[in-house]
Structure 1
Amino acid sequence: MLLTLAIKNYALIDSLEINFSDRFSIITGETGAGKSILLGALGLVLGNRADLSSLKDEEQKCVVEAHFDVSKYDLKSVFEASDFDYEEVTIIRREILPSGKSRAFVNDSPVNLQELQGLANFLLDIHSQHQTRDLIDESYQIRILDAVAQNKELLAVFKKDLGVFKKLQKELQRLQAEKQSLLNEQEYNNFLLEELVQANLKESEQEELESEQEVLSNIEFVKENIDKVLALAKEEEIGILSSVNEAKNSLQKLASLSKEYQSLFERINSIYIELDDVVEECVGKQEQIVDDPGRLVYINERLQFIYNLQKKHNVNTVAELLDIQNQLSEKATKFDAIDSEIDQAEVQKEIVFNRLEKTADEISGSRQLTAPKLEQALLEIVRPLGMPDAQIQFEIKPLEQFSETGKDSVSLLFSANKGMKPGPIKKMASGGEMSRVMLAVKAVLAQSIDLPTIIFDEIDTGVSGEVALKMGEIMKEMSKKMQVFAITHLPQIAAKGNQHYKVFKNEVGGVVNSEIKQLDANERVVEIAEMLSGKNITDSALAHAQTLLN
């Protein structure tokens, strides 16, 4: 519910703040007084685009602020989804700076226009004779029927299952594509895997073979140098071992004299032990050195085989080849298991499909039962509004595939003339007829769901007398469950309001300013009398105005 509207520096408005009440509010004023400006300011709150032409004083910023009581709308989840701070009295503010930049705030938190528009849809609905596009939209037509049929819970269940169903469809497509891919590669992958298994690779094998290959390829050079080492080390009188041993014995004799000599002895003793160990190892190597051309041939062939495998798989190590072997093995296992996965996914899809069919049938059945009642309810409202021969029909047809709203298509058919078969409302209804049907729709919906505040902007254009009176009665009835505003030129409608606001121009010092005020009882009689007879108000007009108000 709209509680307060404050406007500064917008179009012809210097500054105003007005509080609104619940039920049915009337807004009147002469043409050009500023009613459209008021709606333009509210449009900014709804997230409409703005520009510098909106500024009355181009040196100052424009601010439009609206306070809404949202406590009855159950909007906490909407606020949470947009990451807004929830307040029962929510404040929306728009600012247009002299630079042309526009800013929007919800409860003092900055928001973008798309987020603001999403929230504003739950708060305020400005409806004019030219704003009936929703009614020609089939998705809106089906929402009308579902709202009256109380299908909200069934649709929530259906949409949840439809989401699961679509995920299962995508998963099946992925599995089937993966199976086809595996099938296309299976024969070649099996060949590669078998080749790697037969190769019987070991992770450190390449390094060991390359080392052995290096030795066998240089066997004479190795033998020559090992022999030389042993000759230098073991020659009896001047060999390295003999010389170091003599030095060790000499230092041993001095070791008992001081710690320094003891340390020198220990160091040379370590050298001798290490040197002796090296010599013994060289002796072992000398005994192992065998010229083995056959082994060298085997190593060369084995390494070439490993190198070929690495080139084929575009890798550099045996470890990487073993990784590829594991991957190919996993693919082979996956191919064996993928049929089982596909079967399981198809079973799950069938279960969800059957649930969807059942829920869709329930939704469709509810629509079929509700459609005639809704048609009759709309006709009871529309026919007294200057369309006595109107026909309204909700045409429900089954769909081949699931949609977001079940398995039906719904079309609103309309005819205003006797003997004319109803057709799609977008082709059959004039602007005025569309507007009156929309009024009937909103009136019926107000009995079924919590609608946001609605502002009817001169939808009574082109009607008068009993039709105007009936329109006023419909709006008044709607206001028992929601806040309703009517901007009107018709006294029959103006007299139905619970409160009455007048928009007028005020000129001070050559500057024109639009203002709005709530009329008291006497002012209201005068305003309605003026709507009846013009500026020259007669006694009969005053009496007629009082009669209408009573």
Structure 2
Amino acid sequence: MLSFLSIRDVVLIESLDLAFHPGLTALTGETGAGKSILLDSLGLALGERANAGLIRAGAHEARVTASFEIPADHPVQAILAEQDIATDSEEPLILRRVVGADGRSRAWVNDQPIGIGLLRRIASTLVEIQGQHEQMGLADPTTHRDLLDAFGVPDKTRREVKRLYIGWHEARLALEAARREMSEAAREEEWLRLAVDELSALAPQTDEEVQLATQRQALQRNERRGEAVAAALSELNPRDRRNSGPAAALRAASRALHKLLPAPGQDDDLDEGFAQQQAGAQEALAALEAAENALADAESLLARLVADQDVDPRLLEQVEERLFALRAAARKFETSVTDLPDLLTRLKQRLDALESGTARLEALEQAATEARRTFMEAAEHLSAARAKAARKIEAAVEAELKPLKLERARFVAQITPLAEEQWSAAGLEQVTFLLAANPGQPPGPLGKVASGGELSRLMLAIRLVLAGRSVIGTLVFDEIDSGVGGATAAAIGERLHRLARDMQVLAVTHSPQVAAAANHHLRIGKIVKNGQTQTNASPLPALERREEIARMLAGDVVTDAARAAAESLLEKR
């Protein structure tokens, strides 16, 4: 319910703070006192159209803040959660709107900026307004089906229809998806078969690229080592006869030095110089012999290394061919080598689906048909419940219309079947409330055939019939008593008071009977402050309330008789 309204610089209101309470609150005041300004201010907080003309003369902006007490399970909580707006069920929900001099407005909920569309959506769950010139809620046909359901259709029936509709919807989506897949697969069947054959022949394995790359690196390293050993061995023992190699050079050197040694039987009586040359030659020959032995050892070692090398040139070639084939396939199919096995699996599945698609489609079609059948059964049961509820609500509303000076009116809850493409989780039909205000007139839309006062009284009748079944916490009537008086006004007051047992009701009224029926009373008036006319509002205690009702009865001059009549009205409450 609305708990607080703060208004700053709206038309004639400079500053006004009002607290509201449960039950029925009457808002009264002389014509032109500013009651409509109060409702315009509330409308601003609820997301109604804003313009710069609402700003008080001399102010640069208009501001309105409305606070609401809402239960933890109220539907607005879901909207706030959807928008990630923090709430606390123990704290009020605060709607704020500011209108600038350029006519543009900004909105907040719990101090978080929001768009005007979201503000209206939030407000629609909190307040419903019926006025002489603009109606919210009842005049909107999109609300009528929910109102009828709230009146006389079991929640279990509606939940079952919603559940089965979702099941049917999902079955249709699955069928449509399967049909699209088959259609696409049929168009690319030839490509699919070629791709599956190619990838199957390639037979890519999981993590094969990593394994092949590792093996290739190892084989390349072995090959490089083998080439180095072979090159060293070739230098020691070249195959090219033009290059004798170090072993032949050592042997040639030895043969040349042997010529310096004395031949067998040669006279050893040599001169001293020649003896020294022979000694040097002997040492050189010994070194050459050692070198030949070392060279032979090195050649033997290198030969063993060559023999020990496990290098298979063909294996490296095979590994590289396999790796290049995998990477070529990955490029062709625009994927990675790692994903090739999964791609093959998916392509096989698509091909299998194409080959077995007829059976699968038949199964999905059967499932969708069965889902539609069960939904239809439940929806037709819901339609029957609505038809029954429609006749009951028509009778109940018309019974309430008679005391409200609408005894000649005929209320109709029209149920219109929808085309199949318009079926929804809410069922197979649309509900529209119609009214024939006078005999002989065909029923028509509420907002077109009923005046503001008639529509407000009709709304009162419907709300009485739906008492306790609405999530709306606050109902506002703007001059619901327009054009009526006496017994009719008293009937309106009594019904407003009764309705206020289940929800908060605010009524702008000129009727003393309606004002007397209220639990709380606000008087709207004008004062002159600093040479400027301003609208103010104040709650009335018991004595002042009697005076206000007496003024409404008598006019400008309040008599004792008017006070006595006002007292009598208050005692009947």
1:454 aligns with 2:488: no
Deviations 1:54-94 (A, max 9, x none): 44376665442222221376344444333331333414142
The answer to whether the Cα contact below 8 Å between 2:66 and 2:96 also exists between their aligned partners in 1 is no
1:371 aligns with 2:372: no
Show the counterpart of 1:15.
15
Deviations 1:236-278 (A, max 9, x none): 87236766999xx979959xxxxxxxxxx89x98799569977
Equivalences for residues 263-282 of structure 1 within 5 A: none
Partners of 1:315 and 1:229 in 2: CA distance: 50
Percent identity reads 31
Equivalences for residues 13-162 of structure 1 within 5 A: 13-56=13-56, 62-71=62-71, 74-75=74-75, 76-83=77-84, 84-96=86-98, 102-132=105-135, 134-162=137-165
Partners of 2:80 and 2:199 in 1: CA distance: 60
Show the counterpart of 1:207.
none
Partners of 2:461 and 2:341 in 1: CA distance: 75
* CA separation of 1:329 and 1:532: change in aligned 2, threshold 3 A: same
1:443 aligns with 2:464: yes
Deviates more, 1:186-195 or 1:428-437: 186-195
* CA separation of 1:339 and 1:422: change in aligned 2, threshold 3 A: same
* CA separation of 1:125 and 1:317: change in aligned 2, threshold 3 A: closer
Shift of 1:470: 1.6
The answer to whether the Cα contact below 8 Å between 1:94 and 1:102 also exists between their aligned partners in 2 is no
Alignment-mate amino acid for residue 531 of structure 2: G
* CA separation of 1:103 and 1:389: change in aligned 2, threshold 3 A: closer
1:390 aligns with 2:409: yes
Show the counterpart of 1:358.
377
Alignment-mate amino acid for residue 47 of structure 1: G
Shift of 1:456: 0.5
1:531 aligns with 2:537: no
Show the counterpart of 2:498.
477
* Greater C-alpha Rg: 2
Equivalences for residues 59-458 of structure 1 within 5 A: 62-71=62-71, 74-75=74-75, 76-83=77-84, 84-96=86-98, 102-132=105-135, 134-187=137-190, 189-190=192-193, 193=196, 232-233=238-239, 235=241, 238-239=244-245, 328-401=347-420, 402-425=423-446, 428-458=449-479
Shift of 1:406: 0.9
Partners of 1:316 and 1:452 in 2: CA distance: 59
* CA separation of 1:501 and 1:239: change in aligned 2, threshold 3 A: same
The answer to whether the Cα contact below 8 Å between 1:92 and 1:104 also exists between their aligned partners in 2 is no
Show the counterpart of 1:298.
none
Partners of 1:528 and 1:317 in 2: CA distance: 86
Deviates more, 1:358-367 or 1:372-381: 358-367
SS in 2 for 1:456: strand
Shift of 1:13: 1.8
Alignment-mate amino acid for residue 171 of structure 2: L
SS in 1 for 2:526: strand
Alignment-mate amino acid for residue 398 of structure 2: L
* CA separation of 1:539 and 1:167: change in aligned 2, threshold 3 A: same
SS in 2 for 1:485: strand
Partners of 1:313 and 1:250 in 2: CA distance: 67
* CA separation of 1:102 and 1:164: change in aligned 2, threshold 3 A: same
Partners of 1:97 and 1:410 in 2: CA distance: 38
Runs of at least 5 residues in structure 2 that lack an aligned partner in the other structure = 210-233, 254-285, 315-320
The answer to whether the Cα contact below 8 Å between 2:4 and 2:68 also exists between their aligned partners in 1 is yes
Partners of 2:186 and 2:406 in 1: CA distance: 68
Shift of 1:36: 1.8
Shift of 1:396: 2.8
The answer to whether the Cα contact below 8 Å between 1:232 and 1:240 also exists between their aligned partners in 2 is no
* CA separation of 1:147 and 1:277: change in aligned 2, threshold 3 A: same
Show the counterpart of 2:231.
none
* CA separation of 1:357 and 1:201: change in aligned 2, threshold 3 A: closer
Partners of 1:111 and 1:68 in 2: CA distance: 17
SS in 2 for 1:383: helix
Partners of 1:327 and 1:337 in 2: CA distance: 15
Partners of 1:22 and 1:534 in 2: CA distance: 30
Shift of 1:7: 2.1
* CA separation of 1:230 and 1:338: change in aligned 2, threshold 3 A: farther
Partners of 1:367 and 1:360 in 2: CA distance: 10
The answer to whether the Cα contact below 8 Å between 1:234 and 1:241 also exists between their aligned partners in 2 is no
Deviations 1:393-447 (A, max 9, x none): 2233444523342123333343232344545545544444333222211222224
Partners of 2:551 and 2:19 in 1: CA distance: 25
Alignment-mate amino acid for residue 238 of structure 1: S
The answer to whether the Cα contact below 8 Å between 2:515 and 2:521 also exists between their aligned partners in 1 is yes
Partners of 1:250 and 1:446 in 2: CA distance: 125
The answer to whether the Cα contact below 8 Å between 2:148 and 2:390 also exists between their aligned partners in 1 is yes
The answer to whether the Cα contact below 8 Å between 2:131 and 2:452 also exists between their aligned partners in 1 is no
Alignment-mate amino acid for residue 178 of structure 2: L
Alignment-mate amino acid for residue 115 of structure 1: L
* CA separation of 1:233 and 1:131: change in aligned 2, threshold 3 A: same
The answer to whether the Cα contact below 8 Å between 2:128 and 2:136 also exists between their aligned partners in 1 is no
SS in 1 for 2:47: coil
Runs of at least 5 residues in structure 1 that lack an aligned partner in the other structure = 205-227, 255-264, 289-301
Shift of 1:372: 1.9
Partners of 1:483 and 1:319 in 2: CA distance: 67
SS in 1 for 2:407: coil
* CA separation of 1:250 and 1:48: change in aligned 2, threshold 3 A: farther
Shift of 1:95: 4.9
The answer to whether the Cα contact below 8 Å between 2:132 and 2:451 also exists between their aligned partners in 1 is no
Alignment-mate amino acid for residue 536 of structure 1: V
SS in 2 for 1:333: helix
Alignment-mate amino acid for residue 357 of structure 1: M
* CA separation of 1:119 and 1:54: change in aligned 2, threshold 3 A: same
The answer to whether the Cα contact below 8 Å between 2:55 and 2:62 also exists between their aligned partners in 1 is yes
Shift of 1:128: 0.9
Aligned residues: 502
Shift of 1:99: 7.3
In structure 2, which of residues 508, 520, 534 is the aligned counterpart of residue 487 of structure 1? Answer: 508
Alignment-mate amino acid for residue 361 of structure 1: E
Partners of 1:383 and 1:250 in 2: CA distance: 141
SS in 2 for 1:406: coil
1:545 aligns with 2:546: no
Shift of 1:379: 0.4
SS in 2 for 1:403: coil
Shift of 1:386: 2.0
Alignment-mate amino acid for residue 170 of structure 1: L
